[in-house]
Structure 1
Amino acid sequence: MQDWTEDWTGMVGGATPSACVRMQGRSAVVLAELDEAECARRGDDGPGIESWEALDLLMTLPQGESVPERVLTPAQKLLLDGLPEWAVERSGGNVVRLSRVPLRPLLAVAFTRRWAPGLRTAHVFSSMCAQAVVLPSEPGDPLIAIEADQYGVGLGVGAAGVAPRSVVVPEPYRLRRHTVARWWFAEHVYGLLVAQKRRALGAGENSLVDRQRLDQRL
C-alpha cells in the first residue's frame, strides 16, 4: 500500500474503518486496512479469533495446505475443535488452515486534552501500528512538536468530528516479523468492527465523534 502518512489526517473521521480499542487501560481509535477477501470469506458471522493458543497453533499451519491431524497433540486438536468453521477445514484425517489476518492496523490515534497522557497512550500501541496524538487546541509549548517528531508520533490539532490539522507526520510503522500478538490485535480490532457494524444496523450509527469525546476525557 502507498505510504499514507503524509495525508494521515484525512483518514481520521473519514471512510477508513476504525474502532476504539482499549489496551493496558488506555484507549485509542485504531484505523485499519481490511483484507476484503478474507472478511467476505468469513461473512461477518462472529468475532475474530482471540485465543492466543489457537492463533499460535494456526501460525504453525501453512495456509491452504493439508497437514495430517496425527502430527497434532490432543491439546492442539482440542483447540481446533473450538475454532469457527471458517478458520480451518478438517476432512480425511487432514486439516487445512483457511484463515489469515483479517486486517492491517494502520494508525492508533489518541484524542486527548493534554500531550503527556496522549504520548503514553501512543506508546501502548507502538508495537502494533503507527501512532498519533490529536489535541483539541494548539499546544502552548513548542517543544511538544519536537518531542513528537523525536518519538515518531504524529501530532494533530482539531475538534472532535473534524479532520485535524497535521503538525507532525507520524513515522510509518515497519513490520519486522509476524507475531501471535499482532495477529491477536488484528483479530481484536476485527471483532470490534463486526460488533460496531451490527450495532449500526440495529440501532443507528456508531459515530467516531462519540469515541473522540470519550477519549478526550483523558
Structure 2
Amino acid sequence: MTGPVQVPSPRGYYRAATLHLTIDHAEHARRQAAGLGHIRDSHCALLDTLMALPPGIPVDHDDLTERQQNAVRRAPAGILDLTLGIVTRHAIRPCRVNLATVHATCTRDSIGRATSYAPVCTRAVVTPTPPRRMYLLSEANYWGVGVFLDHGDGGVETLVEPEPWRPKRHTPAAWRFAEAAYASYLSHTPNTETTKTPSHAGEQPRG
C-alpha cells in the first residue's frame, strides 16, 4: 500500500474528523516485526524521554535523568534497546498527519471543529453544498481552515485553500497525537489511497 490513507480521528483527540495520514512504511514494518503497535498514552513519560534520545545513536544510561532511566527500563519491547548500560532508541513517529477534514455543511460550528486541529496539522471542511452565507468562507480563511466542495461524483472543488501547517518545534504532544492516529490506522486497516480530498500537508521530519 502506498500513498495517503484516511482514518477516523481517535476518541478524545480534538473534534471528530477524518485524518489523512502518510504511514512511515519502514517504521511500520519494523514495529510489526518487533510485535509493537502504537505507543500508548500511558507511556507519556516515555515519549518525553524518547524526544531526548537521538534515533539510532547509543547513549550512556548514566547520562539520563532518574525519570528518564525509569522510563527506559519500563519501555515495551521494540521501542529501544538497553544493553550493558547503553540505550539506543529505535522508535520514530510512525506516520505524518497531513490533513484533518471535517465532513459537514460549512458553518461556524464545522469551521470550529476543524480549527481545533490547528496545533497538529492542516485542516479543512469538506462540504456537500456551497455555504449559504458567503462570509463563512472569509471566516474559514481567517482561521486558516480550507473549504472543499464535494460534488459527489469524485470531484472536489477548492473554495478556500487551507493554511499549510508548519511545526515550530517538535514536541512529545505532537508525537503522542501521531501515535493516536497510528492506532486508528491499525484499528481500521485502510486499504485504499486517498484520492477524493486534496492533501495539503506540512512536513513532519522523521524521528
What TM-score range do you get, normalising by the shorter chain? 0.7 to 0.9
Matched, 1:37 2:26: yes
The residue number in structure 2 matching 1:47 is 37
Equivalent position amino acid for 2:46 in 1: A
Partner Cα distance (2:133, 2:124) in 1? 17
The residue number in structure 2 matching 1:19 is 7
Partner Cα distance (1:161, 1:187) in 2? 33
Matched, 1:28 2:17: yes
Match of 1:71 among 40, 63, 66: 63
Match of 2:114 among 119, 122, 141: 122
Matched, 1:174 2:166: yes
The residue number in structure 2 matching 1:185 is 177
What is the CA-CA distance between 1:100 and the residue it aligns to?
A: 1.0
Q: In structure 1, the residue corresponding to 2:16 is in which secondary structure?
A: strand
Please list, as runs of the form range in 1=range in 2, the aligned pairs for 1:1-218 lying within 5 A after superposition.
Answer: 16-21=4-9, 22-23=11-12, 26-43=15-32, 45-50=35-40, 51-158=43-150, 162-197=154-189
1:163/1:102 Cα in 2 relative to 1: closer, same or farther (>3 Å)? farther
Q: In structure 2, the residue corresponding to 1:127 is in which secondary structure?
A: coil
Give me the identity figure in percent. 29
Q: In structure 2, the residue corresponding to 1:95 is in which secondary structure?
A: strand
Count of aligned residue pairs for this structure pair: 189
Q: Contact 1:133–1:155 at 8 Å: present in 2 too?
A: yes
Moved >4 Å (runs of 4+)? 159-163
Q: In structure 2, the residue corresponding to 1:43 is in which secondary structure?
A: helix
Give the unaligned 5+ runs of structure 2: 195-207
Equivalent position amino acid for 2:52 in 1: T
More helix by share: 1
What is the CA-CA distance between 1:64 and the residue it aligns to?
A: 1.2
1:12-47: per-residue Cα shift (whole Å, max 9, x none)? xxx621221144562111111222211111117343
TM-score by length of 1: 0.76
Q: In structure 2, the residue corresponding to 1:89 is in which secondary structure?
A: strand
Partner Cα distance (2:153, 2:24) in 1? 26
TM-score by length of 2: 0.80
CA RMSD of aligned residues (A): 2.6
1:169-211: per-residue Cα shift (whole Å, max 9, x none)? 11111111101111111111111101112xx7xxxx89x9xxx
